[in-house]
Amino acid sequence: MVDWKRWGLIVGMLLLSDNAAATSLEEGITAYREGRYEAALPVLRQQAHKGDAEALFWLGQAFLKGQGVPFDYALAHEYFLRAARLGNRKAQNNIGMLHRDGLGVREDKITAYAWFSIAAAGADPPLLAAIANQNRLEVDLQPDQLRGRRRNGWSRSAARSARPPRRRRLSPCRLLPSRRLLLVRYRGAKLV
């Protein structure tokens, strides 16, 4: 016979522990935003160790800006990459910025453009910072650079490291011509 009281107690404890973890993460992010890094970083590290994308993003921010920890662009890139693989669009945008500026990684505007494209394409609503960064790079890059790199699969490695987005219909009027090709070829989006 099933002991329903025991199962009820176990389920209740699990629900409370998940709720406490979410509250703990929110408290950690609030402490970080308020500048209380000594209180925020242990909470963020604990949640990041559990694989929380938002905690990984905020740890990357701490190392990127040197807030509560020493500046370390390479470590910031690692945290952002882990968060990006879990689908965090802000982290994907920040990876693009690190590649664009050559901070902690080799400067590569094409890779930066790929990350901005991934961040902008998967956000709902689109991540405006990623779109703005992508548009700035489009001005700097030559059309043949974009076409040649697309043919060679420049975005495939970036796309593989990010979580595939849910499929959705995108209106072509919202996209620049260069982004239409990216979305159709590498993200599997369907144009209306």
Per residue of the chain (192 residues), give pLDDT as tens: 556 666 655 655 555 444 444 468 999 999 999 999 999 999 999 999 999 999 999 999 999 999 999 999 999 999 999 999 999 999 999 999 999 999 999 999 889 988 988 888 876 665 777 777 777 777 777 777 666 555 445 455 555 545 444 444 444 444 454 554 444 444 444 443
pLDDT score recorded for residue 10? 64
Is omega for the bond preceding 164 within 30 degrees of 0, making it cis?
Answer: no
Q: In total, how many domains does the chain have?
A: 2
177 and 103 together in one domain: yes
Residue 92's alpha-carbon distances to 6, 35, 40, in angstroms, are 43, 24, 22
25 and 63 together in one domain: yes
Residue 180's alpha-carbon distances to 86, 97, 143, 151, in angstroms, are 24, 22, 14, 15
82 and 11 together in one domain: yes
Domain endpoint, select from 44, 68, 86:
86
Asked whether the beta carbons of 48 and 55 are under 8 A apart, the reply is: yes
User: What's the rounded Cα separation, in Å, for the pair 165 and 186?
Assistant: 11
32 and 103 together in one domain: no
102 and 78 together in one domain: no
72 and 122 together in one domain: no
Q: What is the pTM of this model?
A: 0.63
pLDDT score recorded for residue 136? 78
pLDDT score recorded for residue 133? 77
Q: Residue 14: which domain range?
A: 1-86
Domain endpoint, select from 64, 86, 108:
86
